[in-house]
Structure 1
Amino acid sequence: MAETPGLRELKKRRTRQALVEAAVRLFERKGYEGVTVAEIAAAAEVSTRTFFLHFQAKEDVLFAHADVRVDLAVAAIAERGPGERPADVLLRATERMILEAWDGGDLSGGLAALRVRLAASVPALQARLLQRYLGARAELARALREAFPDELDEVTASALVGAMVGAVGAAATAALERGDGPAEVRDAMRRGMELVARSLPA
């Protein structure tokens, strides 16, 4: 049974979410380049210092839930049970990331759509998006390799994770770019996952 977070943790989560929502509103209205950290903090009714307790830079607000998703996927891989195959574990980890993207507000809150739209025109965000993607892929591949040390080498683990993460990410981006709603984007991510699952080794 999950522990109920304390008051301090709840306040921290609410402040972080308030910053995300304020940033989304401002980015939508003024564009990414036209918004400062001070404006985001003021809109969320906190100090600039508080902003930097939650995010290192303005662009990090757009990736507010990314680390949580990776942590959940790594935990899912570490839960490998007796008799499970790499494909089984990778599918569970991917499904957990998709669920978090929905429950955490990345899709339903409009953050994913805004991130894709801004990344198409802001080079700094394109670079950060690539950096995040490569880092997550490497972390998941390492976790999968550690879960199956006798079955997977570094190349195979990286290939499996790259295929899955690449397919899910590409499906989500395509759906977002054509203007699909949150539920449709989630379904597209699952379609990408299922397409890769059919080709994974039994």
Structure 2
Amino acid sequence: MSANGKPDAPPEGPQGAPREGLRERKRRETLRRITDAGIRLFIEKGHDATTLDDIAAAAGISRRTFFYYFKSKDDILLSLQSGLGDMIVAALRETPPDTRPLDAIRAAIVKVCATIPADDMIVIDRLMRSSPTVQARKQASYVQHEQALFEALRERWPDPQRETRLRLLAMLAVGAMRLASDTLSREGGKRPIIDLLHEAFDALEAEI
């Protein structure tokens, strides 16, 4: 409590950001440990052959703790997919205000995908393809990405007359990202994801 009777502000970290609390840090570390253990076992044993008990044991947690973080082993893979969408939306909001919508989306997707090692992207994609259930849910997640991108675009360009165009841009941008990702996996990482993304967006711009 401060001298003026108001609650003290949380301790600040670098650049004035609130410092992460012990509980939140432990939660994040446990989440990362479960995710890393799950991915490692999926690669070693295959998705279908890996059990929840395997993952819990490898992560050093109980089954009960596992279910606190994930509803199923499929959610480990899908959490990576949803996390990617959140990062792209955040990057989109950081683009300069005078950027064209399509250029802003391109820059955001390229920025985020450039931070992910190609080998990791290929492995995760192949793991998802190995499970029909996960693959179906992955396809459904693209609709969520489109909606999240559209809402971020509408937040930046709120003119109601642009809504249809912005929604189409969000759908096309996610399609370009999917095409680049599929090509990366099919070619085994022969070309960098950044080059594949620019190739897809260049093709998109040439047709609109």
Matched, 1:155 2:164: yes
Percent sequence identity is: 31
Corresponding residue for residue 28 of structure 2: 13
Q: Tell me if structure 1 keeps the 8 A contact 2:176–2:201.
A: no
Partner Cα separation in structure 1 for residue 27 and residue 118 of structure 2: 21
Moved more, 28-37 or 90-99: 90-99
SS across alignment from 2:179: helix
- TM superposition shift of 1:5: 2.8
Q: Secondary structure at the match of 2:159?
A: coil
Change (3 A) 1:38 1:191: same
Deviates more, 1:139-148 or 1:112-121: 112-121
Point out where structure 2 has 5 or more consecutive residues left out of the alignment: 1-14
TM-score, with structure 1 as normaliser: 0.78
- Ranges in structure 1 where 5+ consecutive residues have no aligned partner: none
The Cα shift of 1:115 comes to 3.0
Q: Of the two, which has the highest radius of gyration?
A: 2
Q: Secondary structure at the match of 1:65?
A: helix
TM-score under structure 2 length normalisation = 0.77
Q: Which digits, 9 at most, give the CA deviation of each residue in 1:116-142, with x for residues without a partner? A: 223334210111111111111111112
Counterpart in 2 of 1:90? 105
Aligned Cα root-mean-square deviation (Å):
2.8
Deviation at 1:45, TM superposition (A): 0.7
Quote how far apart the aligned CAs of 1:42 are.
0.8
Q: Secondary structure of the equivalent of 1:56? A: coil
1:79-117 C-alpha deviation (Å, 9 max, x unpaired): 5655332234323322343245x2xxxx3673x323322
Indicate yes or no: 2:50 matched with 1:35.
yes
Change (3 A) 1:53 1:152: farther
